Structure 1
């Protein structure tokens, strides 16, 4: 049954990745959007638990770590989709098992067999081919930077999720703490940024009142900026996207509870396939031969983790 849960989590996370990529290209306040994603998760977890009645044990404290790691991972993934290739960022969202399997061995003694080691070699070769592709531009290199952060902190989120199950934490309470933590972090970041913008606007208004006039030679060029989504629309869309996010976690935690950590992480990481197909057939992204080879090797490594580990 854990395999079915892991596969369902992969499907939900694939939908989340597509929605993130689509949204990242819109004139939208990122932190408010992600606040909505986590607020949605918090409300859903608390609301469902009213009927489920799952206990609030001491293990739910791990939700604080899960929320912090997930906060960084989701912010990095969203930023990566905004500045880099969707297919490349999607690849890194599929690689946390590399971190998870090694850390699970060090922390809990989950052994690495020959096939897992072989899988890691294949994945690393794929990453090297992608990284040193001659077709990469500066913007795509920035995308890789965000992709690496995404990979690291999604891996840490998986590890803390497993630790929560080892401590006997119930799924819905630990998710309520996790999403509540993430909502607090994103909400705080949004409020700080809004305060900075307000102060900047006040300074500009004060300068205009004082009659400050720019010389023609120093006046900035006119830039057409798309009309930003309203706060209400942004928050509402974020809460909609959040449904796919918490749905994935609801399936993932029971899978971690019953299955081997690294294999569950590898199966859930197959969500990358959904975003890669979206990038290729909907976004019409052109991928070089070396990138195709790197993507193929990295995906083959993930498949090996799933089938042969």
Structure 2
């Protein structure tokens, strides 16, 4: 059961990235897109917490966890945009995905989660798929030395974002509340930046519309991801969840008639191999 939930979480959360691309193609405001995304996402987690009957926010540890995971999400995305200013995406994107390896190592050795040979092979195939899907054909040149520090920070922030829920789950904390707080704090931040941004009315409207829709998928994907972590092994669930970027690729193929390049075809092959080996 955990396997299907993990795959579904990747598909649903991946739709978020695709909808963000739709907004970008329609020239929507990025700041308003992110504000709309975190707003509806926060509302989704709030309603979910009410149904669970655990919307209690007087515990400082919940706020701290929400702040750290929110920082990992919003901060990681913002810093990654800076990384792309100083270095090529063909090198930056594959290195950014090293957070997957970091989380798998922590889950296996610190939390003592067993990992069979077949699962190890499967994780390797999935990681190869994640790296290949993000490779771009461009000159590999580093413009600034600060790129090296920034890429390390991005890896650590994304590790906090995706691995933090494993830590809080082990601590017996309510992950739905934590996700609500992380999205709420991010919503406040991007609400402020959106208010300061000087954009056209049409750009704002487009950004808010697609951001609001993307936020619902972001909420659904992360809620499923948290559930998969609760019943499955993080060192396997997290690599599966990290394949969510493939949804944007295939969505672009269907909607914008983009074609799979050779590396993306190889990435799909390794992804399928990885999923087969996990279920073997």
Question: What's the RMSD between the two structures over aligned residues?
Answer: 4.4
Segment of structure 1 superposing worse, 159-168 or 149-158: 149-158
Deviation at 1:99, TM superposition (A): 3.2
Alpha-carbon spacing, 1:262–1:232, altered in 2? closer, same or farther (3 Å): same
Deviation string for 1:73-104 (max 9, x for gaps)? 445788999xx99xx97x89987543321232
Structure 1 segment 185-200 matched on structure 2, within 5 A: 185-191=189-195, 194=197
**Partner in structure 1 of residue 28 of structure 2:** 28
Alpha-carbon distance in 2 for matches of 1:127, 1:233: 30
**Partner in structure 2 of residue 265 of structure 1:** 238
| Equivalent in 72, 75, 100 of residue 75 of structure 2 | 72
Please, which runs of 5 or more residues in structure 2 have no aligned partner?
Answer: none
| Equivalent in 168, 171, 174 of residue 167 of structure 1 | 171
- CA contact 1:129–1:293 (8 Å) conserved in 2: no
Alpha-carbon spacing, 1:10–1:130, altered in 2? closer, same or farther (3 Å): closer
Alpha-carbon spacing, 1:260–1:48, altered in 2? closer, same or farther (3 Å): closer
**Partner in structure 2 of residue 183 of structure 1:** 187
Alpha-carbon distance in 2 for matches of 1:238, 1:128: 26
Please, which runs of 5 or more residues in structure 1 have no aligned partner?
Answer: 198-225
Deviation at 1:253, TM superposition (A): 0.9
Give the aligned length.
270
Whether 1:49 and 2:49 are equivalent positions in the alignment is yes
Whether 1:136 and 2:137 are equivalent positions in the alignment is yes
Alpha-carbon distance in 2 for matches of 1:301, 1:155: 25
**Partner in structure 1 of residue 7 of structure 2:** 7
Structure 1 segment 111-130 matched on structure 2, within 5 A: 111-119=114-122, 122=125
Deviation at 1:72, TM superposition (A): 3.2
| Equivalent in 282, 287, 305 of residue 255 of structure 2 | 282
The structure whose Rg is larger is 1
Q: Which secondary structure does the structure 2 equivalent of 1:108 belong to?
A: coil
Alpha-carbon spacing, 1:292–1:40, altered in 2? closer, same or farther (3 Å): closer
- CA contact 1:270–1:302 (8 Å) conserved in 2: no
Deviation at 1:67, TM superposition (A): 0.8
- CA contact 1:171–1:253 (8 Å) conserved in 2: yes
**Partner in structure 2 of residue 214 of structure 1:** none
- CA contact 1:266–1:302 (8 Å) conserved in 2: no
**Partner in structure 2 of residue 231 of structure 1:** 204
Alpha-carbon spacing, 1:288–1:72, altered in 2? closer, same or farther (3 Å): same
Q: Which secondary structure does the structure 2 equivalent of 1:282 belong to?
A: helix
Alpha-carbon spacing, 1:247–1:124, altered in 2? closer, same or farther (3 Å): closer
Deviation at 1:160, TM superposition (A): 0.3
**Partner in structure 2 of residue 200 of structure 1:** none
Deviation at 1:243, TM superposition (A): 0.4
- CA contact 2:29–2:206 (8 Å) conserved in 1: no
